[in-house]
Amino acid sequence: MIDELLTDEEREVRDRVRAFADAEVIPIINEYWEKAEFPFELVPKVAELSIAGGSIQGYGCPGMSHVAAGLCAIEMSRGDGSLNTFFGVHSGLAMGTIDICGSEEQKQRWLPAMARLEKIGAWGLTEPDHGSDSVMLETTARRDGDGWVLNGKKRWIGNATFADIVIIWARDVEDGQVKGFVLEKDENGEHHPGYTTELIKGKMGKRAVWQPDIYLEDVYVPAGNKLEGANSFKDTNKVLTATRGGVAWEAIGHAIAAYEAALQYAKERVQFGKPIASFQLIQNKLANMLAEITNMQLMVYRLSQLQEQGKMTGPMASLAKMNNAKKAKQVCSDARDIMGGNGVLLEYHVARHLSDMEIVYTYEGTDTIQSLIVGRDVTGISAFV
């Protein structure tokens, strides 16, 4: 009865995104996923949901509660994880960074068009040699007259092949601090000279979202495109902490999709003369899957309450992401097992969610790194530099 904890507004936005996922996403997504193609046809339909910007107040954003934003992540990923990653990068990371670190002028300049999905965002932190130790990033920013010149490489940057606005984190060669810059396409739809991308291929999960490498060679950025409040890695961390909770919500969507599919299948699949749902081992699995989903829901509901009150900490977000990614991965695995050989087929959807959960388990901070963030918090001792 977790539904009773939600407000009418939260239930409405959840139902709106759920209906969209059922009607528009699930019927078509397997083909895109298998071909590793991005479903551009869904972008204007996502725009019609009026959910981009999540909890951001003003600038054409919905200004919803953190719980409502989390429910959007559940329902979007219940439809498909790739689409949710596209949306999370745009709405959570890109728009969130501008909201947290941008000046008032910068927010007014970029957020309204992004809220309407007229301009798509990407977010560049991770590098080929710096994943978990992203604080050690090597991309550089050098002052050049009234602007900046960026050089370096980024990896796994969702949406960056087609994004209109790309946020790049780079180290100032003068003071050594990490700062944020906004690269935007010109009136001809072209990026700055020196900005190129190369699509990463061969992924085992999240196949329908494009996550390329970025190459920056003497890319000039006007002074007005340096984010006013992004002046150290502490500012970067503010964004990471805020979005990490969203990944904990996302994991629930994958788990719910897998659980629902397995439950329905178990009722209909007849073996040894009766539905497999009548066997003790199957019922035991389903009961434990439901228990884990309920636990995950309660954890992120409380996390979002604390976020609303300004009390959420980085370790809290890490605890939720670590717990939910691990639990959801197991729920998806159990669902695949219940469905036997059919569970590996895309047409039954669980294989896609199980593969996508392998990605969720790693991105936005690996399971191990999340545990070390929590471990540092409870012991007062850092197990990594």
Mean per-residue pLDDT of the chain: 96
Residue type, 93: L
User: What is the model's pLDDT at position 191?
Assistant: 85
- pLDDT tens-place string over residues 234-255: 999 999 888 889 999 999 999 9
pLDDT confidence band for 384 (50 / 70 / 90): confident
pLDDT above 80 (res 135): yes
User: What is the model's pLDDT at position 190?
Assistant: 84
User: What is the model's pLDDT at position 39?
Assistant: 97
pLDDT above 90 (res 122): yes
CA distance linking residue 88 with residue 107, whole number of Å: 18
Residues paired with residue 215 on neighbouring β-strands, in sequence order:
153, 196
State whether residue 278 is helix, strand or coil.
helix
CB-CB contact of 121 with 167 (8 Å): yes
CB-CB contact of 276 with 282 (8 Å): yes
User: What is the model's pLDDT at position 192?
Assistant: 82
State whether residue 147 is helix, strand or coil.
strand
**What is the percent of the chain with per-residue pLDDT over 90, rounded to a whole number?**
93
- Residue intervals of the chain classified under CATH 1.10.540.10 are 2-120
Measured at the CA of 356, the angle between CA 266 and CA 283, to 5 degrees, comes to 20
User: What is the model's pLDDT at position 333?
Assistant: 98
**What is the percent of the chain with per-residue pLDDT over 70, rounded to a whole number?**
100
User: What is the model's pLDDT at position 40?
Assistant: 97
Spatial neighbors of 189 by CB under 8 A, at least 6 apart, are none
Stretch (H or E) spanning 220: strand 212-222
Mean pLDDT of 201-210: 96
CA distance linking residue 201 with residue 220, whole number of Å: 29
- Residue intervals of the chain classified under CATH 2.40.110.10 are 122-225
Spatial neighbors of 372 by CB under 8 A, at least 6 apart, are 382, 383, 384
Residue type, 249: W
Give the CATH class of 122-225: mainly beta
Mean pLDDT of 279-292: 98
**Considering only CA atoms, which of 303, 306, 348 is closest in space to residue 322?**
303
Topology classification of domain 2-120: Butyryl-Coa Dehydrogenase, subunit A; domain 1 (1.10.540)
User: What is the model's pLDDT at position 136?
Assistant: 87
User: What is the model's pLDDT at position 268?
Assistant: 98
Higher pLDDT, 160 or 244: 160
User: What is the model's pLDDT at position 187?
Assistant: 81
User: What is the model's pLDDT at position 134?
Assistant: 82
Spatial neighbors of 150 by CB under 8 A, at least 6 apart, are 139, 140, 141, 168, 170, 181, 183, 216, 218, 219, 221
| Candidate CATH numbers 3.40.50.880, 2.60.40.10, 3.40.190.10, 1.20.140.10; the one for domain 233-379 | 1.20.140.10
User: What is the model's pLDDT at position 231?
Assistant: 96
Counting Cα atoms < 13 Å in the Cβ hemisphere of 321 gives: 30
Mean pLDDT of 333-347: 97
Mean pLDDT of 328-347: 97
User: What is the model's pLDDT at position 72?
Assistant: 97
- Show the DSSP H helices in the chain as ranges: 8-20, 29-35, 43-47, 66-79, 81-87, 95-101, 104-115, 233-268, 280-308, 314-338, 350-362, 367-379
Mean pLDDT of 20-35: 98
pLDDT above 80 (res 355): yes
- pLDDT tens-place string over residues 269-278: 999 999 999 9
pLDDT above 90 (res 97): yes
Token code pair at residue 5: 């904890």
What is the distance between the terminal CA atoms of the chain, rounded to a whole angstrom? 43
Spatial neighbors of 222 by CB under 8 A, at least 6 apart, are 146, 147
Bridge-based pairing state of the strands 140-144 and 195-199: unpaired
Mean pLDDT of 91-104: 97
CA distance linking residue 110 with residue 94, whole number of Å: 10
- pLDDT tens-place string over residues 85-94: 999 999 999 9
